[in-house]
Amino acid sequence: MNEEKNRYFTVTDKSGQTIEYEILFTFDSDETKKSYIVFTDNSLDEDGSIVTYAATYDKNGDTLELKDIETDEEWNLIENLLSSIEEASE
């Protein structure tokens, strides 16, 4: 399968609009025993930063079904990882 194609997925929202997202990275957490996906639609927020989203998913599933992140601990895990990546790229 084409690696470049695997970096993108589309979602149709409730109004029927199709939105394309780029997968920034995925990771598994030994702590939560879940798989996470971090992605963007490449839009910018009011500070000029790229808007990112995160969700859990079943990496063994046939389709990409995203689920909400449920706890503050999970959000902290993702935010700390994003901060580490940002610091490493500077």
Going by pLDDT thresholds of 50, 70 and 90, the confidence category of residue 2 is: very low
Count up the domains in the chain and report the number.
1
Give the model's pLDDT for residue 71: 94
82 alpha-carbon distance from chain centroid: 11
* Token couple for 39: 């992605």
pLDDT in tens, 17-62: 999 999 999 999 999 999 999 999 999 999 998 899 999 998 887 8
> How many Å apart are CA 42 and CA 88, to the nearest integer?
21
Structural domain harbouring 32: 5-89
Give the model's pLDDT for residue 64: 82
Single pTM value for the model: 0.82
Contact 35, 55 (CB under 8 A): no
